[in-house]
A and B are shown apart, each in its own frame.
Chain A
Amino acid sequence: MLRLLVPLIRRLSRLGSALVVAGTLAGPALADATTPLVSPAWLKARLGSPDVVVVDVRSAIDGGGADAYERGHIPTAVHSDYDKAGWRVTRNGIPFMLPTPSELEKLIGELGIDEDIHVVVMPAGVHALDFGAAARIYWTLKAAGIAKVSILDGGFAAWQADPANPIERGANKPVPKIFTAVINRELIAESSDVEQIGRGLKATLIDARPASFYFGKEKVPAARAYGHIPGAISLDNEKFYDAAANRLKSPAELAALAAEIPAGPVMTYCNTGHWAATDWFVLSEILGRKDVKLYYGSMVDWTADVSRPLVSARTKWDDLKKTLGIGL
Chain B
Amino acid sequence: MSVATTTQTAATAAPARTADWPFLCGAVIATALLAALVLLDGQPYSAGLILLGFALGVAFLKAEFSFTASWRRFLVSGEAGGLIGVLLLIAIASIVIVPVAASVRGFGGAIAPIGPSLLIGAFVFGIGMQLANGCGSGTLYTAGGGSGRMLIALACFIVGTVIGSLHLPAFLALGGIDPILAADYFGVWGGLAVTLASIALVGAAVIAVARRRDANFLPRRSILIGAVAIGVLTIGVFLAGGHPWSVTFGFTVWGGKLASLAGIDLASHEFWQWPGPKRALTESVLTDTSSLTDLGMILGAMAAAAASRPFARTSWPPARSLAAAAIGGLLMGWGARLGFGCNIGAFVGGVASGSLHGWIWFAAALAGCMLGIRLRPWFGLSRE
| Assembly CA distance A323 to B36 (angstroms) | 12
Ranked 6 nearest A-B pairs via Cβ: A323-B40, A320-B40, A316-B284, A316-B41, A319-B41, A320-B37
| Best-buried of A316, A320, A323, A324 by chain B (most CB within 10 Å) | A316
| Assembly CA distance A278 to B35 (angstroms) | 46
Mark interface residues in A292-328 (1 if CB within 8 Å of B CB, else 0): 0000000000000000000000001001100110000
What are 10 A-B contacts with C-beta separation under 8 Å?
A: A316-B37, A316-B41, A316-B284, A319-B40, A319-B41, A320-B37, A320-B40, A320-B41, A323-B40, A324-B40
B residues near A319, Cβ cutoff 8 Å: 40-41
A residues near B37, Cβ cutoff 8 Å: 316, 320
CB of B219, distance to nearest CB on chain A (Å): 44
| Assembly CA distance A320 to B41 (angstroms) | 7
Closest chain B residue, CB of each to CB of A319: B41
| Assembly CA distance A60 to B37 (angstroms) | 40
A residues near B40, Cβ cutoff 8 Å: 319-320, 323-324
CB of A260, distance to nearest CB on chain B (Å): 29
| Assembly CA distance A319 to B41 (angstroms) | 7
B residues near A324, Cβ cutoff 8 Å: 40
Residues 253 to 310 of chain A near chain B (Cβ within 8 Å)? none
Interfacial residues, chain A to chain B (CB-CB below 8 A) = 316, 319-320, 323-324
Starting from the known contacts A320-B41, A324-B40, 8 additional A-B residue pairs (CB-CB under 8 Å) come to A316-B37, A316-B41, A316-B284, A319-B40, A319-B41, A320-B37, A320-B40, A323-B40
CB of A39, distance to nearest CB on chain B (Å): 53
Interfacial residues, chain B to chain A (CB-CB below 8 A) = 37, 40-41, 284
| Assembly CA distance A243 to B76 (angstroms) | 85
B residues near A320, Cβ cutoff 8 Å: 37, 40-41
A residues near B284, Cβ cutoff 8 Å: 316
CB of B268, distance to nearest CB on chain A (Å): 22
Closest chain B residue, CB of each to CB of A323: B40
Closest chain B residue, CB of each to CB of A320: B40
| Assembly CA distance A316 to B287 (angstroms) | 11
| Best-buried of B37, B40, B284 by chain A (most CB within 10 Å) | B40
CB of B82, distance to nearest CB on chain A (Å): 42
CB of B36, distance to nearest CB on chain A (Å): 10
A residues near B41, Cβ cutoff 8 Å: 316, 319-320
| Assembly CA distance A324 to B37 (angstroms) | 12
CB of A278, distance to nearest CB on chain B (Å): 35
Closest chain B residue, CB of each to CB of A324: B40
CB of A321, distance to nearest CB on chain B (Å): 10
| Assembly CA distance A298 to B142 (angstroms) | 55
CB of B287, distance to nearest CB on chain A (Å): 9
Closest chain B residue, CB of each to CB of A315: B284
Closest chain B residue, CB of each to CB of A322: B40
Closest chain A residue, CB of each to CB of B40: A323
Closest chain A residue, CB of each to CB of B283: A316
CB of B178, distance to nearest CB on chain A (Å): 30
| Assembly CA distance A316 to B285 (angstroms) | 12
| Assembly CA distance A324 to B39 (angstroms) | 13
| Assembly CA distance A316 to B283 (angstroms) | 10
B residues near A316, Cβ cutoff 8 Å: 37, 41, 284
| Assembly CA distance A154 to B41 (angstroms) | 46
| Assembly CA distance A316 to B284 (angstroms) | 9
B residues near A323, Cβ cutoff 8 Å: 40
CB of A80, distance to nearest CB on chain B (Å): 43
| Assembly CA distance A41 to B84 (angstroms) | 97
CB of B303, distance to nearest CB on chain A (Å): 25
| Assembly CA distance A323 to B41 (angstroms) | 9
CB of A309, distance to nearest CB on chain B (Å): 15
| Assembly CA distance A316 to B40 (angstroms) | 10
Closest chain A residue, CB of each to CB of B36: A320
| Assembly CA distance A323 to B40 (angstroms) | 7
CB of B46, distance to nearest CB on chain A (Å): 12
CB of B19, distance to nearest CB on chain A (Å): 32
Closest chain A residue, CB of each to CB of B39: A323
| Assembly CA distance A316 to B46 (angstroms) | 15
| Assembly CA distance A212 to B41 (angstroms) | 21
| Assembly CA distance A319 to B284 (angstroms) | 13
CB of B32, distance to nearest CB on chain A (Å): 15
CB of B231, distance to nearest CB on chain A (Å): 34
| Assembly CA distance A324 to B40 (angstroms) | 9
| Assembly CA distance A316 to B41 (angstroms) | 8
CB of A155, distance to nearest CB on chain B (Å): 44
| Assembly CA distance A328 to B103 (angstroms) | 42
Closest chain A residue, CB of each to CB of B41: A316
CB of A326, distance to nearest CB on chain B (Å): 13
| Assembly CA distance A324 to B36 (angstroms) | 12
Closest chain A residue, CB of each to CB of B287: A316
| Assembly CA distance A319 to B42 (angstroms) | 10
| Assembly CA distance A244 to B37 (angstroms) | 45
CB of B284, distance to nearest CB on chain A (Å): 6
| Assembly CA distance A320 to B36 (angstroms) | 11
| Assembly CA distance A320 to B37 (angstroms) | 8
CB of B285, distance to nearest CB on chain A (Å): 11
CB of B145, distance to nearest CB on chain A (Å): 30
CB of B310, distance to nearest CB on chain A (Å): 36
| Assembly CA distance A319 to B286 (angstroms) | 15
CB of A202, distance to nearest CB on chain B (Å): 27
| Assembly CA distance A144 to B107 (angstroms) | 52
Closest chain A residue, CB of each to CB of B286: A316
| Assembly CA distance A114 to B41 (angstroms) | 54
CB of B278, distance to nearest CB on chain A (Å): 15
CB of A228, distance to nearest CB on chain B (Å): 18
CB of A160, distance to nearest CB on chain B (Å): 51
CB of A247, distance to nearest CB on chain B (Å): 45
